[in-house]
Amino acid sequence: MLSENELWILSFYRTSEISGALFFGKLAKSMKPGEIQRDMTKHFSDEALHSWYWTSCIERLGAQALKLSEAYQDQYLAAAGMPVNLMEVLAITQVFEKRVVNQYARHSQVAGLQPEVSETLARIMIDEKWHIEWIHDALKKMESEYGKDLIEATLKRFWEADRDVYSKTMQEHEERIQGLVRLK
Amino acid sequence: MPDQNQVKEKIANLLNQPVSKLEDGAVLTTLVVESFALIEMVIELQEEFGVQLVQEDLKDIKTVGDLTGLIASRSR
């Protein structure tokens, strides 16, 4: 069974995966043929699958996913400003995916975690690690076009925004996530 | 090199709206309410017209006219 807070957190994860899938799906649709088009297509399909994993997980635990209006990524744009080219999109995604892996890893350490949640986290994290790798490789290849310094400066700016967003999110939902900070 | 009207036509196409409804003074964030849709549109315009923009370039871009002017002036 899920507590109200746990249901909200898993629903928030689900909503964020859906937002990611929709965004990357649109990008994948508009991209020219090539490696990035290929990998972005897989990336978006993974995110959609992850939203299904969360939906299914919540259902197996006897609940139904909440319909939430805001995803984690929405706050990034407010904090970091809108990415305006593919390099910036990949950079902000890289930062976000690393935050997701970090959050999911922390969640997986919670004492007494339901096996259904634990399994879902493990499945998703395998994909998220690939997401980080392909984006890292794509950004590396973009150095000739954008310059290594600009890419690094862009990543740094988004990391700073990420820290602000994460800190704000933790404060806003302190009560909900209190259970998640009880590490093994 | 495209002129601003050609860029505006592309924007109209992307937004699925008639060009006649895209006034130069129309505010972009009012026209395209969803942030991600706006990102997608800006990236597509760059791809279409061979332009490379960074975040700094869009700092003062608020309206359709601002954006079409920027894209047209930067197009190779």
Q: Is B15 in the A-facing interface, judged by CB distances under 8 Å?
A: no
| pLDDT 10s digits, A27-64 | 888 788 999 999 999 999 999 999 999 999 999 999 99
**Kind and range of the H or E run holding B49:** helix B35-49
B14 touches chain A (CB under 8 A): no
Mutation site for A-interface testing, chosen from B34, B43, B46 by largest number of A Cβ within 10 Å: B43
What Rg value do the Cα atoms of chain A yield, rounded?
17
pLDDT class of A7 with cuts at 50, 70, 90: very high
Contacts B36 to A, Cβ<8 Å: 19, 22-23, 26
Complex ipTM, two decimals? 0.78
A111 contact partners, CB below 8 Å, separation of at least 6:
A182, A183, A184
pLDDT in tens, B15-58: 999 999 899 999 998 888 877 788 889 988 998 999 999 888 99
Fold of B4-14+25-74: 1.10.1200
Tokens 């992850």 identify what position?
Answer: A50
Tell me if A83 and B39 make a contact (CB, 8 A cut-off): yes
Contact indicator for A152, A87 with CB cutoff of 8 Å: no
* Chain A residues touching residue B42 (CB < 8 angstroms): 82, 84-85
Round to whole Å and give the CA distance between A20 and A43: 9
pTM: 0.84
Q: How many Cα atoms within 13 Å fall on the side-chain side of residue A173?
A: 17
- DSSP code of A10? H
B contacts of A160 (beta carbons < 8 Å): none
The answer to whether residues B56 and B18 touch, using CB atoms and an 8 Å cutoff, is no
Domain definitions of chain B by residue range: 4-14+25-74
